[in-house]
Amino acid sequence: MPVNGSSTGAATPAAPEQLSFLQIQDVVKEFNGYLAVNHVSLDIAKGEIFALLGSSGCGKTTLLRMLAGFETPTSGRIVLNGRDLAGLPPYERPLNMMFQSYALFPHLTVWDNIAFGLRRDGLPRDRVAERVDAMLKLVQLGKFAQRKPHQLSGGQQQRVALARSLAKQPQLLLLDEPLGALDKKLREETQIELVNIIEQVGVTCVMVTHDQEEAMTMASRIAIMSEGRFLQVGAPSEIYETPATRFVADFIGNVNLVSGTVEVDEPDHVVIDSADCKHYVGHGITGTIGMPVTVALRPEKIHVSRHKPNDDYNSARGRVKELSYFGSFTVYHVGLASGARLKISQANTARHKDDELTWGDEVWAHWSRSAHVVLTQ
C-alpha cells in the first residue's frame, strides 16, 4: 500500500444516500471450486459512470453478468435502488446491457432496431414513435433512421446500440467492452460522445473494459480487479497518482518501480536508498528505518538532460539506450550503473531542439521531491 501520507486510493466515503443506488454486498461466484469473483463489495451512486478494469480472467465480466442476471451469485446480494435482484430473471430487471458486438438486427432499420424492445413491452404506437425519435435525436442519427446496420460506420452502429439500450429508460446501463470493436482513432472520438449521451440521460452506468485509457476517460470511478478481487477503487486520477500496490502501479499506465530501503525517517520527509540513487520524499510515511519499500516513478515526472542537477537526491546518471519519437513526446530508456533502466517521457514542446539527445548520450535523470509514490506491497 502507499505510505506517502496521501489517500490510499480507496474512494472518499460519501453519505449513505449518495452511494446506495447500486449495492454489491460480499458477492461470490464459484465455478467448480474456482472463485471467479471473491467476496467483493461496492456501492455505486445514482448517475455515476463506474468502470470495472482488469486483464482477461480477472472476474469483471462475470460480475457484470451477475448484475445482468445471466449468472447467479454463489453468495452475497445485489441491490438496485433498494430492491434485491436475487431470483429476478434478466428480462424482469430494470436494466439494459449493451454488448461489445452491439447485437443489432441486420434485417431491421435503425428506427426499428431502437423500437424493438419498446414494441415487445407493448407500448402504444405513438409512445414508441416519440421515444425512438427522442433517442435518434440524442445520438444524432435522425437522418440515418431508415438505414440498415451494414450501411453504418462502426461508430454509428455503436450509437444505435446505445440508443436501443436507453430507449426503455433503464435504471442501470451495463456496457461490456463498449468500444472494443472500434479502431483506435474512432474509439478516442467515441469515448467523449458516449459519456456526453449517458450524462444527458442521467442513467447509472457500469462498464467493463480491459482498456485503461477507456476507463480513465469515461468513468468517474474505477475498480481495479485481479483474481476476482478489488485491489483499489477510486477516481482515475487517484488511482494513477496514488496506486495502492505494485500491481496497480504497474497495471495503470507506465511506471518505473525501484526497490530500496528507508534510510531516514522524519515526520516531514524520508530518504530511501536504492542501487542508483537516494530518493528524497518530501513528506513523512508510515514506516521504519530499514524497511524495504518500492518507489514508483511515472516516466512523465522524470526530466532528462546532459547536465548534472544541483540536488544530490533524486537524480541518477546513465546513458541513452533506446529512444522512441511519438510526435508530441519522446520516450527515452536510460541505462543506469546497476543495470536497471529508467523509462522517461518528455513532451516535445519545441519544433526543433538545439541539443537533441540521441542513442549513447550520457545523461542525468532527475525528478522532484513530490514525484514519488512509496509502496509497501
| 331 grid coordinates | 520516450
Position 13 pLDDT exceeds 80:
no
Spatial separation of the C-alpha atoms in residues 152 and 140, rounded to whole Å: 13
Spatial separation of the C-alpha atoms in residues 262 and 285, rounded to whole Å: 10
Spatial separation of the C-alpha atoms in residues 218 and 211, rounded to whole Å: 11
Spatial separation of the C-alpha atoms in residues 7 and 137, rounded to whole Å: 42
Domain boundaries, the chain: 22-94+170-249, 254-375
Per-residue pLDDT band at 3 (split at 50, 70, 90): low
Report, as an integer, the average pLDDT of 349-367: 90
What's the mean per-residue pLDDT of the chain?
Answer: 90
Per-residue pLDDT band at 332 (split at 50, 70, 90): very high
Per-residue pLDDT band at 62 (split at 50, 70, 90): very high
Lowest mean pLDDT among 11-15, 44-48, 155-159: 11-15
**pLDDT of 283:** 82
Report, as an integer, the average pLDDT of 349-377: 90
Per-residue pLDDT band at 353 (split at 50, 70, 90): confident
**pLDDT of 181:** 61
Position 351 pLDDT exceeds 70:
yes
Closest listed residue to residue 270, CA positions, set 9, 4, 2:
4
Cβ(165)–Cβ(98) below 8 Å: yes
The correct answer on CATH 3.40.225.10 for the domain covering 22-94+170-249 is: no
Same CATH fold, 254-375 and 22-94+170-249?
no
Q: Give the gyration radius of the chain's Cα atoms.
A: 25
**pLDDT of 320:** 97
Position 9 pLDDT exceeds 50:
no
Residue whose entry in the numeric block shows the C-alpha cell 477503487: 233
102-143: pLDDT as tens digits: 889 999 999 999 999 999 999 999 999 999 999 999 999 999
Single-letter residue type at 164: R
Spatial separation of the C-alpha atoms in residues 29 and 59, rounded to whole Å: 9
The CATH architecture of the domain made up of 254-375 is Beta Barrel (2.40)
Report, as an integer, the average pLDDT of 247-252: 94
